[in-house]
Structure 1
């Protein structure tokens, strides 16, 4: 008894035996293009209903503290590599399950799409659950981590095994297209761009 799959494939091969091979089609894919525009990145992030603050690098601790205070965050979790001056010790917690906010860095950010990519093996970005459980996520994006487009981000992520791509606060729509936020992650996203 013969295998039906093998028989069908053999028939296809016989039918195509006298045909010339398919031509190779040149592809004009976009290639990495370099640094991204901060203003474009900020505009794209705002399009997702996220808050963006662009500040000098020296003002990051003050800006993060103000953002957390305005949110009323009293239990903030951070990965171990987040600089201590970013989050006041009085509000730090060690559990993402009881935290009302998380503060992280990022691996790369894409200006054209407003997307932020976390590397969950990096000390300032933490495990995936750390960034999905709290309702409020504040991400500090250094200027030199903003790239122009997705191919730049993919190149920057070579060898990064555990990633989360974030384009705004967590949101989905039901069958009637009613937007629901916070279903699969933080309902609020604040991005601090450090120049």
Structure 2
């Protein structure tokens, strides 16, 4: 880029910013409230059933259990996937963590990329889930850990409590903490190449299991 082009680029940027400032000269204090009278949810009354259906549409394996069966259901899922090295983020509920042949990997001190890549699975909770879109939302809170933990292992088992399932996106956004790192997950990782061939596991876990704990 020539010096003349740089000057022109800076000038164009300043022109845009100046116009924005001029347009806001009459705005005093906080921005005016935006009316939000639109329909807030399309979920209906059975949010748990809808979430299970929509998540399954994205090729996640969904299991619904009662609280006293949750621990054994987690053990069954890990056995079926042949898990031997299991990443468990800090804050995961101890009463839900089953005994088994797997070796538990803590992320304190942080696991290396090589260690995470070698792990068979990661077991987490979530911040909440969205029924209409079949989406899990992670915010690095207790039981979820940093984003890398759910990117590198090939299998992700996520525990969702029924009370944490929001009907639709507007409801979910009100419950989320906007200053936290938010990750929206709809099914296992999938992408398509230029020939539209679906490939799974490129940008995250190839397999996603969701365990819903219902009252």
Deviation at 1:119, TM superposition (A): 1.2
Given the superposition, is the C-alpha separation of residues 176 and 86 from structure 1 closer, same or farther in structure 2, using an over 3 Å criterion? same
Q: Secondary structure at the match of 1:63?
A: helix
- Partner of residue 168, structure 2: 149
Q: Does 1:169 align with 2:188?
A: yes
Deviation at 1:158, TM superposition (A): 3.3
- Partner of residue 79, structure 1: 89
Q: TM-score, normalised by structure 2?
A: 0.74
Size of the aligned set, in residue pairs, is: 178
Q: Does 1:29 align with 2:38?
A: yes
CA RMSD, aligned part only?
2.7
Q: Secondary structure at the match of 1:59?
A: helix
1:142-171 alpha-carbon deviations (Å, 9 max, x no partner): 000001001111111134421110000000
Q: Secondary structure at the match of 1:96?
A: helix
Deviation at 1:176, TM superposition (A): 1.1
Q: How does 1:54-133 map to 2 (within 5 A)?
A: 54-84=64-94, 85-88=96-99, 90-91=101-102, 92-94=104-106, 95-120=115-140, 122-133=141-152
Given the superposition, is the C-alpha separation of residues 87 and 119 from structure 1 closer, same or farther in structure 2, using an over 3 Å criterion? farther
- Find 2:204's aligned residue among 185, 188, 193: 185
Structure 2 unpaired stretches of 5+: 1-10, 23-33, 107-114
Q: Secondary structure at the match of 1:97?
A: helix
Deviation at 1:30, TM superposition (A): 3.5
Deviation at 1:137, TM superposition (A): 0.2
Are the counterparts in 1 of residues 42 and 132 from structure 2 also a CA contact under 8 Å? no
Given the superposition, is the C-alpha separation of residues 87 and 31 from structure 1 closer, same or farther in structure 2, using an over 3 Å criterion? same
CA distance in 1, matches of 2:12, 2:168: 48
Are the counterparts in 1 of residues 72 and 98 from structure 2 also a CA contact under 8 Å? no
Are the counterparts in 2 of residues 119 and 160 from structure 1 also a CA contact under 8 Å? no
